[in-house]
């Protein structure tokens, strides 16, 4: 199983995460193309720097030709524009990473709402899974802000997070993470920093409110300089990607990368480290080891009975749920009261996604109630291998048990794309991908 580990000994922010991705092997051109696909007037500047004597990759975002400005400048300009003070969003409480530049363009009288952000991401020419991940990161931020301000998520306007540069950070983070073909993400305890942070509404202790809300149930500590080390964007990325917080997991290391923040500290390298490799040692979460055979995890099962929903709408709702991060979605025919035919919709979800997916069920179906329960799921470890066919590359998902391959299957979307592009039968692409994998095993 291919795993990734985030070492947040100096916190985490969006641009530090992008730097670590590139340093660990993600194509810089992939991220540049992603920014171009957003069509929001942004571009990336990628450079090599040193922090504490360690070489790292630094990523800066240019919005409409202008490099991001220091947070202090942004807050000073905000104070001169009282009309903005009623709007909600990250910059109302805090700016970007206190040891990096602020990521916002000119102050807006009207921030971007989540609906507008979803539309921008939806139109971008990136994969559907990456779109879903990026939207989940924004939704995590929105949920945190909505709770802090006692409002709804759709009424939250993102000053900092909705800015051009933060859009680039979050969407590039989703695309870059997907390109690593990692099966599971792990994260260290997070160094949140200390001291206070100057916000539009006054001085608040570190972590700032949205960051604190996002890091619920995550292990944190305070060390080093008295600055804010974990930004809301960084916290949302960790919350969305990571399935477990642990010390360094047992793995066969493949590659590692360092992403740099802007400032340099005297006694703490301002870096985020990303390590990628194959899980090797059998064990469990209690010993901080990763099993190469099976993984036990707690999940939430959501169910709803539907007897007045058209099949077309049900199919669309199931697609939406999968796109928004459900582990699995299925329906079975049932007989409802008064003899009416209906369907039982079942959704498997990560525990942290359950409430959000329940809201999607309510929004996309006609149900008046959603049942939920916790169950334990046991899964085989898995990894990806790419094979070549006559029409192009196809990823093979490989499941392992006790060190040997127990199942393998071509990735459907890869095969479908090749079939549509080259006007060949889908079954031929699947068959050739399987044959290429078997041939590779024998050679």
C-beta of residue 99 within 8 angstroms of C-beta of residue 269: no
pLDDT of residue 77: 35
pLDDT category at 108 given cuts 50, 70, 90 is very low
Q: What is the DSSP string of 335-360?
A: E-GGG-EEEEEEEEEEGGGHHHHHHH
Instruction: Of 252, 272, 190, give the one whose Cα is nearest residue 21.
Output: 272
Residue 116 has pLDDT above 90, yes or no: no
Residue 119 has pLDDT above 80, yes or no: yes
Calculate ∠ Cα 90-169-200, nearest 5°.
15
pLDDT tens by residue, 395-438: 898 887 766 788 899 999 889 999 999 999 999 999 999 999 99
User: What is the rounded CA–CA span in Å between residue 13 and residue 123?
Assistant: 25
pLDDT of residue 405: 80
3-state secondary structure of 428: helix
Give helix 128-149 / helix 311-323 axis angle, nearest 10°: 80
Instruction: Of 174, 68, 81, give the one whose Cα is nearest residue 121.
Output: 174
Q: Higher-confidence residue: 370 or 78?
A: 370
C-beta of residue 361 within 8 angstroms of C-beta of residue 343: no
3-state secondary structure of 225: coil
pLDDT category at 90 given cuts 50, 70, 90 is very low
pLDDT tens by residue, 209-239: 889 999 988 899 998 888 999 999 999 999 9
pLDDT of residue 58: 96
C-beta of residue 439 within 8 angstroms of C-beta of residue 390: no
Instruction: Give the domains, in start order, of the chain with CATH numbers.
Output: 2-287 (no CATH), 294-369 (3.30.70.1380), 382-442 (3.10.20.300)
Residue 85 has pLDDT above 60, yes or no: no
Q: 97-111, 286-300, 320-334, 387-401 — which is least confidently predicted?
A: 97-111
pLDDT category at 105 given cuts 50, 70, 90 is very low
Q: 190-191 and 294-306: which strand pairing?
A: unpaired
pLDDT tens by residue, 170-210: 999 999 999 999 988 999 999 999 888 776 567 889 888 88
């Amino acid at each position: 199983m291919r795993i990734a580990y985030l070492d947040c000994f100096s916190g985490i922010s969006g641009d530090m995460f992008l730097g670590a991705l590139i340093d660990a092997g993600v194509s810089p051109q992939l991220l540049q193309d992603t920014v171009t696909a957003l069509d929001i007037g942004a571009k990336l500047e990628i450079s090599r720097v040193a922090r504490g004597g360690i070489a790292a990759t630094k990523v800066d975002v240019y919005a409409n030709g202008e490099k991001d400005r220091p947070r202090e400048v942004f807050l000073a300009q905000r104070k001169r524009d009282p009309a903005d003070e009623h709007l909600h969003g990250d910059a109302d409480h805090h700016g970007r990473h206190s040891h990096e530049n602020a990521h916002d363009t000119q102050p807006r009288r009207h921030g971007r709402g989540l609906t507008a952000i979803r539309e921008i991401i939806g139109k971008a020419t990136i994969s559907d899974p990456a779109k879903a991940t990026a939207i989940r990161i924004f939704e995590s931020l929105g949920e945190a802000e909505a709770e802090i301000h006692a409002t709804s998520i759709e009424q939250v306007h993102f000053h900092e997070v909705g800015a051009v540069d933060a859009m680039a950070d979050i969407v590039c983070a989703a695309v870059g993470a997907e390109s690593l073909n990692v099966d599971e993400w792990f994260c260290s305890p997070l160094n949140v920093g200390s001291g206070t942070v100057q916000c539009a509404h006054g001085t608040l202790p570190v972590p700032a409110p949205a960051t604190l809300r996002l890091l619920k149930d995550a292990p944190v500590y305070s060390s080093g300089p008295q600055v804010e080390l974990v930004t809301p964007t960084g916290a949302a990325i960790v919350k969305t990607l990571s399935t477990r917080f642990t010390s360094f997991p047992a793995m066969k290391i493949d590659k590692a990368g360092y992403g740099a923040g802007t400032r340099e500290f005297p006694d703490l390298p301002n870096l985020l480290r990303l390590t990628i490799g194959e899980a090797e040692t059998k064990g469990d979460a209690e010993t901080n080891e990763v099993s190469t055979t099976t993984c036990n995890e707690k999940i939430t099962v959501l169910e709803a009975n539907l007897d007045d929903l058209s099949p077309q709408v049900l199919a669309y709702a199931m697609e939406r749920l999968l796109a928004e991060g459900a582990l699995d979605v299925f329906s079975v025919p049932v007989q409802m009261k008064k003899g009416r035919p209906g369907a039982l919709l079942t959704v498997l979800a990560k525990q942290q996604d359950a409430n959000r997916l329940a809201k999607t069920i309510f929004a996309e179906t006609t149900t008046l109630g959603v049942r939920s329960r916790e169950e334990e799921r046991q899964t085989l470890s898995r990894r990806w291998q790419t094979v070549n066919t006559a029409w192009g590359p196809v990823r093979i998902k490989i499941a392992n048990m006790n060190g040997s391959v127990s199942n393998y299957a071509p990735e459907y979307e890869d095969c479908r794309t090749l079939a549509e592009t080259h006007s060949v039968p889908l079954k031929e692409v699947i068959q050739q991908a399987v044959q290429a994998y078997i041939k590779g095993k024998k050679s």
